[in-house]
Structure 1
Amino acid sequence: MTAPTWLPSYARSVTRRRFLKGSAAGVGGAFLLACGGGDDAGGGAATLQAGDVRKPGAVFYERDSYKLADQTKEAVPGGVLTQAEDSDFTETFDVYLSITPEADNFTDISYEYLTRPSRAPSESGIFSVTGPYLAGVAPGTPEAATILGHLASSWEATPDATQYTFTLRPNVKFHNVAPVNGRVMDIEDWRTSMDRFLAVSSNAPQVKDILDKVEFPDSTHMVMKMKNPYAPLPVRMGDYNFGVKIVPKELNARPDLSATQMIGTGYRMLDKYQPSITREFKAHPEYWGGKPFIDRWHQPIITEYANRYAQFVAQNIRTFTPTGQDALKSKGDVPQAIMVGQLISPVAVNRFKFGKREKETAPWKDARIRIAMHKVVDWTAINEFTANKTGFNAQGVEIEIVNASHVPYDQSFYLDPYKGELGKASENYLYDLAAAKQLLSAAGQPNGIEFDLYASAGGSTTPAQSVVDGVNLYVDYYRKSNLINANVNWMIRQEFFDRVVYYSDVKGLGNQQSSSGNDVDYLLGLDYYSKSLREPPFVTPEMDRIIESQRREPDPVKRNEILKDFQRYCAENFPQLPGAGRWTTWRFEWDWLRNSNALGQQWWLDANMPKRNG
């Protein structure tokens, strides 16, 4: 069963009936909150012992991961870490031809980028700006915002952000698999990776839009010259939506090999792949960052929710991510597991995208109509229900909910309209039927409007009931408003992405989708910029000016102020409609993994872990 892609994975069992009844799951009895508090901007010292707070039955928040002391010196090498995957993919292993997040996440395990964020890897071992904070690196500090060299040992930029020089990290060895055979990475691997990326990757067009040329002046340097200033380049070079994964030249010369083999530089080497059954990795013993402590990683593919839960309860897999309605029940079922409150993403935001067809004549060409379309939906109520706020609060469990605006929840620039941080324009985000009616009348539509809403039904033309229920959470608000009516048009997934996500080739509104990328410029450049290949319909010269200004600004503090200006402009014009917000998501873990706020090769398994050797 599939579910709306805008919902966090834990929230996808929501039903319209449960929403209308206002029900909330719960479990009797309160329990200890570990590291609870909101001192997110405190000092950087790692002052807590993991064993004191990440212990059986505790609730731990990933926002506090920087407070946990490093455990590398206590490491016990060996063991097998087993974590289930909830979906498979049928794509090629070729990193330049990947088009789905599932394929990119898989190849990210063995291939690496030139840069990385100053974060620990996510639970899957993949670097992300949404990963836990490293030990001693507090959020909100310059160190936490620093972009680090990875396969590039360092990088330098000209003051005007038009030229970047990346230095090849020495003595990096590929996996010892033919035909590469564990040789040392060289500049030809970089050159051929860049050449093939620009030639065939689906991400190449957005890179070519800003890139003038790439030069390799010697055996250790790559120079990227931009058409215009582009300050976000370092962070985006570690992003699967933009950056180049370094593939050995042997595979770049043989796409047939690249399609069937994965030979990278990462600390995990692919050892076994059985579609729809399992993926297994073994340690790369000559990894440039140090030999991994863990010997093997097993990833059984368990697509059924109930089966994954049963395997977790039986302690056959380390983690489980429940739905929002099931999280508290899971706490009661497995009281010895750790309940982890995951970080709210600083790079993702849900938004509905207007189509470009008949944009000059459709009623929503008027910003007042677009604002009214947002104001007839009570997004606060939808968010609180879907997040199960009532249930968590009843059990004394803190849950953070952030309503959506036009940018992700990056606290360095996010302005919360629900707290009035956008001034008078904050009112445009609030549920208010009377104000919506006034806006419609002022725009010449006193009797309301009707529009088509295009939504993905998944792999077939008939959506699963959970998908229908998710969409109806807000469609019901349209219908009962007696002001705006939405006609839902279901598309198979590929058509939805081709027509709605990529090209806005509809009249009406595309159903909400979550943005991605690891910098807000990915969102701005694709969905709000006149030069975007996606041709968003309601862009303006002023929006272009703001977007280009933040691209030129290398000072992160000054850039954040420009991004605030972007929000203020969107608050008045609503070029797209914000959707559902973000909230604390949960996963459950058995207390087996140590040093989870360190680099992946430094993770290790408790000596008393059951089935430690598989």
Structure 2
Amino acid sequence: MAKRGISLLLVLMLVMSIVAVGCGKNEVPQSTNENVAKEPEKPSEPQYGGVMKIALENNVKNLDPLYIDSTTAEQVMCQVGETLIETNSDCSEYLPCLATSWEISEDGLEYKFKIRENVYFHEGKYQNGRLMTPEDVAYSINRSKGYFCNYLWMLDRMEVTGEDEATAYLTQRDATFLYQLSHSSTSIVPKEEVEGWGKDFTTHLVSTGPFVLKEHLTDQKSVLVRNEKYWGEKPYLDGIEFVIIPDQAQAINALRTGEIDLVFNVMGESTKLVKGDSNLTLMQSPAFRVRDVGFNMEDEILDDIRVRKALLMGTDYQQLAAGTYLYGEGIAACLPLPKKSWAYDEAFENLIPKFSPEEGKKLLAEAGYPNGFKVEVMCKGDAMSMRSLTILQQQWKQNLNVDLQINTVEATTYMDSLIKGTVQMWSGAQTSTSDPATSIGYQFNTAKLHSNYNAWCYSNPEVDKLITKGVEELDREKRIEIYKEIMEKTTPECVGIFFGNDNVSWGVSNKLHGVVQENKSVITISGNGINIWKEK
């Protein structure tokens, strides 16, 4: 078990070293800098040619949409694969892609898609770049059912219902169905390539996207070239090369020397290096990613609402967020719902217990812990989690006499412990979308018990009914009212401390133009109105 401490003096120095954010303690402190993504000034008209080189921090093992296992793999897959629909930059609307239009039946159980004509697959080993058909759409969507967290659980089947038409039949109404069809796990692929390659299709992905997978070396790189038969706007770039560079310092050095054009997840001291280099731009924008410290409500100590509430009352959210985001990696928050969600309401912030150590101590005494207690928190040992936990460790010791022991573990152990419920507390971040169905709709759902979504083991039949209702309702205004009711019922349960919304932070060479940070987990290089080009 690895443990780490930090002096209160150092904590205060960390906090004072950045601009303080917002309002009073345990109210959401607002950032004084929204970190709006910026783009270098274009020196000339867009140019064709050049290869964009991107550093990836983790190996890319699986490119088959069925077995997508990381955002890193998605960065590659989304340049090669295409889906029926896509979302706009802030994920609030659905746009045509391989489907040009769709109709939803009055009962919400049938989705009829008009399939785009004259779209061709990339040339592969088992087909020569043939025309994509509605049969391919039905095959791919049906193949996706049951995979990748079973996000298509509401789908019964998809069938070809016309010469240029395919219809999806659902088992029940679900407002998130279209969003799931925009996910890379539902990319349209040719049956011949899937069956021909077998298990090796995962490294020989073929689809219809603007770039073609030319070479994939699992531990080294993925090389993509422009799809000359692409149905959409012609990509400016000749190709893309994704290079595996696990060490960020090495990646940033490659960015500064020009060997790499873009680095994802720039954090810590690396932000200073990027900001200080006139040849680079640090692009930052809020992500749908909430940083938290969660409580296992089945734990013999944390099952008492008085204990959980006391821990929140002994937490200075403002100091915690400020000390965690030392380099502008995020903005302060206090709710499980991302601030950029269309269902977010500042009124929810008043449901969080106000900072009051004395009241917190009284609650602990009532719960049988007048002298505090010891509790263990698990994390994966990343820099941001360690910063937040060492601050929290000092706050709870000083304010509540609670001893917080920090246990760093491997990622596999971390996930296994959440699933098995063998952890008292944990620290991490949860990623969602603008739709609250993918944040609080998962986090407070009994069906998600003992998973990374609902590891706090919250279960309330009344809330489950509201969650189902929120998904079945297709009218957004009505859905907002439903999720408001869910927040009003769940927030007072104090299942965790949701203290920040992470930023997306990229280091970008000024030779790249047209780079946009959308509210998605991956970059769009060509498509959806975006077409990145590289200055020669």
Q: Deviations over 1:221-246 (max 9, x none)?
A: 33333333211211232135xx5222
Q: Give unmatched runs, 5+ long, in structure 1.
A: 1-13, 27-37, 39-58, 120-127, 130-144, 393-398, 457-462
Q: How far off its partner does 1:452 sit?
A: 3.4
2:72 is matched with which residue: 95, 99, 102? Answer: 102
Matches within 5 A, 1:156-175: 156-175=103-122
Q: 1:375 to 1:158 in 2, by over 3 A?
A: farther
Q: How far off its partner does 1:271 sit?
A: 1.7
Query: What residue is the counterpart of 2:215 in the other structure?
Result: 272
Query: What residue is the counterpart of 1:520 in the other structure?
Result: 436
SS in structure 1 at match of 2:439: helix
Matches within 5 A, 1:353-368: 353-355=294-296, 359=298, 362-368=300-306
Q: Deviations over 1:131-186 (max 9, x none)?
A: xxxxxxxxxxxxxx321121222222224433322232222111122212211112
Alignment-mate amino acid for residue 187 of structure 2: K
Q: Deviations over 1:491-531 (max 9, x none)?
A: 4322321331xx25225223333223563312334321123
Q: 1:25 to 1:318 in 2, by over 3 A?
A: farther
How many residue pairs match? The answer is 502
Given that residues 266 and 287 in structure 1 are in contact (C-alpha distance below 8 angstroms), is that contact kept between their aligned partners in structure 2?
Answer: yes
Q: d(CA) in 2 for partners of 1:423 and 1:596? A: 34
Matches within 5 A, 1:574-613: 574=494, 576-582=495-501, 584=503, 586-597=505-516, 600-601=526-527, 603-605=531-533, 609=535, 612=536
SS in structure 1 at match of 2:318: helix
Given that residues 24 and 325 in structure 1 are in contact (C-alpha distance below 8 angstroms), is that contact kept between their aligned partners in structure 2?
Answer: no
Matches within 5 A, 1:89-238: 89=60, 91-119=61-89, 129=91, 145-198=92-145, 201-204=147-150, 206-208=151-153, 210-238=154-182
Q: Does 1:545 align with 2:489?
A: no
Q: 1:300 to 1:63 in 2, by over 3 A?
A: closer
Given that residues 379 and 385 in structure 2 are in contact (C-alpha distance below 8 angstroms), is that contact kept between their aligned partners in structure 1?
Answer: no
Q: How far off its partner does 1:16 sit?
A: 9.3
Query: What residue is the counterpart of 2:334 in the other structure?
Result: 404
Identity among equivalent positions (%) equals 19
Q: How far off its partner does 1:444 sit?
A: 4.7
Moved more, 189-198 or 282-291: 189-198
Q: How far off its partner does 1:263 sit?
A: 0.9
Q: Give unmatched runs, 5+ long, in structure 2.
A: 1-5, 19-29, 517-523
Alignment-mate amino acid for residue 115 of structure 1: I
Alignment-mate amino acid for residue 78 of structure 2: D
Q: d(CA) in 2 for partners of 1:303 and 1:194? A: 33
Q: d(CA) in 2 for partners of 1:278 and 1:433? A: 52
Q: How far off its partner does 1:265 sit?
A: 1.0
Query: What residue is the counterpart of 1:375 in the other structure?
Result: 313
Given that residues 333 and 499 in structure 2 are in contact (C-alpha distance below 8 angstroms), is that contact kept between their aligned partners in structure 1?
Answer: yes
Q: d(CA) in 2 for partners of 1:586 and 1:465? A: 15
Query: What residue is the counterpart of 2:348 in the other structure?
Result: 422
Given that residues 173 and 287 in structure 1 are in contact (C-alpha distance below 8 angstroms), is that contact kept between their aligned partners in structure 2?
Answer: yes
Q: d(CA) in 2 for partners of 1:17 and 1:304? A: 31
Query: What residue is the counterpart of 2:446 in the other structure?
Result: 530
Alignment-mate amino acid for residue 281 of structure 2: I
SS in structure 1 at match of 2:447: coil
Q: Which stretches of structure 1, 4 residues or longer, exceed 6 Å deviation after superposition?
A: 14-17, 23-26, 464-467
Matches within 5 A, 1:310-325: 310-320=253-263, 322-325=266-269
Query: What residue is the counterpart of 2:186 in the other structure?
Result: 244
2:355 is matched with which residue: 397, 419, 431? Answer: 431
Q: How far off its partner does 1:551 sit?
A: 1.1
Query: What residue is the counterpart of 2:14 in the other structure?
Result: 22
2:421 is matched with which residue: 502, 505, 519? Answer: 505
SS in structure 2 at match of 1:270: strand
Q: Does 1:384 align with 2:322?
A: yes
Q: Deviations over 1:221-279 (max 9, x none)?
A: 33333333211211232135xx5222211133242341331111111111223343332
Q: d(CA) in 1 for partners of 2:446 and 2:38? A: 40
RMSD between superposed Cα atoms in Å: 3.5
Q: d(CA) in 2 for partners of 1:588 and 1:522? A: 28
Q: d(CA) in 2 for partners of 1:386 and 1:363? A: 27
Q: How far off its partner does 1:17 sit?
A: 8.5
Q: How far off its partner does 1:282 sit?
A: 0.6
SS in structure 2 at match of 1:436: helix
TM-score under structure 2 normalisation? 0.82
Alignment-mate amino acid for residue 52 of structure 2: L
Q: 1:273 to 1:488 in 2, by over 3 A?
A: same
Given that residues 454 and 488 in structure 1 are in contact (C-alpha distance below 8 angstroms), is that contact kept between their aligned partners in structure 2?
Answer: yes
TM-score under structure 1 normalisation? 0.72
Alignment-mate amino acid for residue 14 of structure 2: G
SS in structure 2 at match of 1:251: helix
